[in-house]
Amino acid sequence: MPIGEFATQAGLSTKTIRFYEESGLLPAPPRTSGGYRDYPAQATTRLSFVRDAQAAGLSLAEIRSVLALRDSGQAPCREVGALIEQHLADSERRMSELREARAALRELSRRAAVTDPDTCTDGDICTILTRPAGSHGAE
């Protein structure tokens, strides 16, 4: 199928399809006698996999490595499982960091609500963001 039809069917732009080819995610399709790309039906399966893998948070490099395993005849299940576990651990770490940031922002919001700008001195930049004396701890 021509690239325009393939892109429409996939819900992507032809530019994205070309990018996926250049990135090694889609093999270059055969060409027609006129030199136009002619995508085989199985290209849609591969493209669906790429989109599903991206939706799961895998990077293009990770997807490329999974596809390389599959293309070499190996089942990539272990690799995919390891990638998922790594992404899950990263997600848990980021969620923990976000919870800490939320708690800090809540405290700053509380301080902002009770701060009287008239009590600020010329030496203060912003008492809301400046840690109270004695709370600077090791950084």
| Percentage of the residues of the chain whose pLDDT score is greater than 90 | 63
pLDDT at position 41, please? 85
Which residues, listed in sequence order, are joined to residue 37 by a DSSP beta bridge?
31
pLDDT at position 136, please? 59
What would the pLDDT profile of 87-98 be if each residue is shown by its tens digit? 999 999 999 999
Q: What's the average model confidence in pLDDT over 115-123? A: 82
Helices and strands (DSSP H and E) totals, the chain: 5, 0
Cα(44)–Cα(24) distance, rounded to whole angstroms? 15
If you count them, how many residues does the chain have?
A: 139
pLDDT at position 109, please? 95
Which among 22, 17, 18 is positioned nearest to 7, based on CA atoms? Answer: 17
